[in-house]
Structures are given as structure tokens and as C-alpha cells.
Amino acid sequence: MAFQMPFKFSAANGNGVAERARPSKMMDYDQPLVWITLVLMLFGMVMVYSASIGLPDSPKFTNLNGRHEYFLYRQAAFIAAAIVAAYFAFRIPVASWQKLAPLMFVGTLVLLILVLIPGIGVSVNGARRWLSFKLFQVQPSEIMKIVVVLYAADFTVRKQQYMHKLTKGFMPMAAAITVVGFLLLFEPDLGAFGVIVCIAMGILFLGGFNMIWFGGIGALLVMVFTAIIALSPFRRARMFAYLDPWQEDNALDKAYQLTHSLIAFGRGEIAGVGLGNSVEKLHYLPEAHTDFIMAVIGEELGLIGVLITLAMFYWLVKRAFDIGRQAIALDQFFAGLAAKGIGIWIGVQTFINMGVNLGLLPTKGLTLPLMSYGGSGVLINCVGLAILLRIDYENRVLMRGGRI
């Protein structure tokens, strides 16, 4: 991105008077970032329609009354609402997000508590993760992802002088994330907890946290997650099923989703069986329009479709880190850490979702950002990317010599 001074020296007048230069040709916003986001959402909407078109024929969805476009229309409404929310999020200065970060963290903790209260929280498939507001449902764990990005970035900036100390540089953040973790495990939502831990640890690492302590704490976290899995019968069963999914008992039970996901990828081969022609989505592969939408892409569009999707997410994450690096170079440290935190969030969640679909990771209920069906996920993803776009916008203002 070229830098152009707002003033130039004129040799014509001979007296060294600064003259106003022509306006910079630098755009006011990152147009490719906007287009990639829109393409991912619209592509996701098409795949949600394809993956869900057979659901009204299932006994589990008798309330749909044969409306095959039900999920398509709802996803379109979610995307429209997400774009409106993103517009208003973009209008808020980065400094205001920094001021609001602690309050937002406390407010989202309250929402996570409300989810666990019977009669307030909505339970689906044994998990209590939603708050119902009649017309729509909200998933507080999705809100917590972007809130943790902002809170961890603000904490790191405020505690910069203590980043090499365990008690003042790490323990307060560890205590906050531990509270979040306990609330999420009661839902239960281990996947969201894993993403949130990665976000917080990643931002602390980028903020200069002591490398020796970081390595030790990383090893401790591995032990903690191992203990959580070992002490939970259903999580332990999922892990053993993941290690040997084709064993007969596993393939028909705990590894049922994984085996059918792998079958879908196998059927897709290089170019896929064609858009709309998936067989696995027809009541074989559970959650085909949410957690396993990547398997439907693999079956219908093949390796080519998977690689194109992966390339778009790679570009998105790389761009987030580029914007963050640029903000730090301009001495906007909170903005830089927040931008990189958004990159970590999108990157980690994408990696886990794709890893689960491909059998590289144990089965975990995490959606593919921007693409999977769901209002909370798409809306919060868009708000996060709108904040990233705002950071880039303020970078461009500063590079022109302006003021935020």
C-alpha cells in the first residue's frame, strides 16, 4: 500500500512554501476485504440451501410443512441483518470499542449465566446455549468470541509493563477466561471454550507475554483439556471413536457423523458430483447445513471447491494480520492486537471446523465462519470483520496525515 504525503514541496515558487498536494488515490476502505466477506456469505447461503433442501422431509422437521426454502430464506434474513449490524459497528471508532471492552465482557458474562437458568435458556439436543427473544435466538458464546478479542487487546495494552510477570501480566486474564470456561462447560460448549482460549493466549503472546511462561501455560492448558475429555464419558467416547471411526460400533454411533463426512469427501473426488447432487445430505449426514457444511461442499464441488473455500479464508486471515501489523506500525497498539485477534478467531474456528469435517480433529460442534447456517454466528462474524474494516479505515486516515 503506497504512502503519499498530503503536502509537497514546490520548486516553482523557489521559497520552500508547502503546497497542497493532489488528493491521495488511496481508497477509504479495503474493498477486497468487503468482497471476500460477501462472497463467503453468499456462497454459504447457496450451500445452506443445498444442504438443507431435504430436511423438510425428515420426521424431525415436521414443523416446516414441506417448505424446502425455509433455511434459505432465514439465512438470507440473517445475512441482511448482519450487514446492517456491520454497518453500525463500522461507524464506531476503535477508541470507543476499547473503552467499551470491559463493560461488554461483564455484560456477556451475565448472558452466559442467564443461558444456564431453566426457563430462560433454550435447550437443543441436550445443550443449553441459546436465549430466546421470540422472533430470534441469541447464542452468547458467539458474542463472547468477539468480546474476548476486544477485552484481551485492551488488557494487554493496559498491562503492557507487566507482560513479563505471571501475577500481574497473566493471572487476571487467566481468571477471567476461567470464569468463561466454567460457564461454557456447563452448557456444554467445549468447542467455543477452545476458540476463546486460543484467542486470549494468542493476543497475550503477540502482546509480548514472557515466552517461558507462555510455553509452560500452553502445556498446562493441554493437560487441562485432556483432563476435561478424560473425565467426561461422552467426550472420552467421542475421542476413541475419532481414533478408529470405521470400527463397526463407532461407525454406527459416536463416529456416525465423521464416517459420513468422509464418505461425502470421497464421493466428491476432484470436481464433485455437481451442485445440489449430494447424497449424504439426504438424512445420512447430521447437521449438514451447520457443522458439516464443508463436507457437502466437498461432495458437490469436490477438491476444487474445498481449495477455493480454503484460499478465501486464508486470504481473510492473512489480511487481518496485515492490517494489525500496519496499525502497530502507526502506534495504534490496541487496534493492531484487536485486528490480529480477529484473524486468530476466524483462523482457529475455520481450522477446527475443517479439521473435524476431514477427520483430522475429534468431532466438535463448531460452525464454519460466515458460511454455516445460524443467525448469531453470521451476525457476530460480520461485526468482527466490520471492526477489522474500521481499523483499516483509521490506518488509512493516519497514513494520509489526518486525525481519527
My answer on whether 285 and 404 are in the same domain is: yes
Q: What percent of the chain has pLDDT over 70?
A: 91
My answer on whether 279 and 355 are in the same domain is: yes
What total number of domains does the chain contain?
A: 2
The pLDDT value recorded for residue 344 is 97
Task: For residue 377, give Cα distances in angstroms to 71, 120, 338.
Answer: 15, 20, 19
Last residue within a domain, chosen from 210, 231, 252 = 231
Question: Residue 249: which pLDDT band, with cuts at 50, 70 and 90?
Answer: low
My answer on whether 114 and 191 are in the same domain is: yes
The pLDDT value recorded for residue 252 is 67
For residue 335, pLDDT over 70 is answered with: yes
Q: Which residue has the cell 494487554?
A: 156
Polymer length in residues for the chain: 404
- Is the distance from CB of 72 to CB of 45 less than 8 angstroms? yes
DSSP H/E element including 343: helix 333-357
d(CA 226, CA 8): 61
My answer on whether 310 and 404 are in the same domain is: yes
My answer on whether 278 and 384 are in the same domain is: yes
Mean pLDDT of all residues in 204-232: 79
Distance, first Cα to last Cα, the chain: 19
d(CA 167, CA 165): 6
Predicted TM-score of the model (pTM)? 0.88
48 within a domain of the structure (yes/no): yes
Q: Which domain holds residue 157?
A: 98-231
Question: Residue 6: which pLDDT band, with cuts at 50, 70 and 90?
Answer: very low
- Is the distance from CB of 298 to CB of 270 less than 8 angstroms? no
- Kindly provide the residue ranges of all beta strands, DSSP E only, lying in 3-126, ordered along the sequence: 7-9, 18-20, 121-124
Residue 138: beta bridge partners? 131
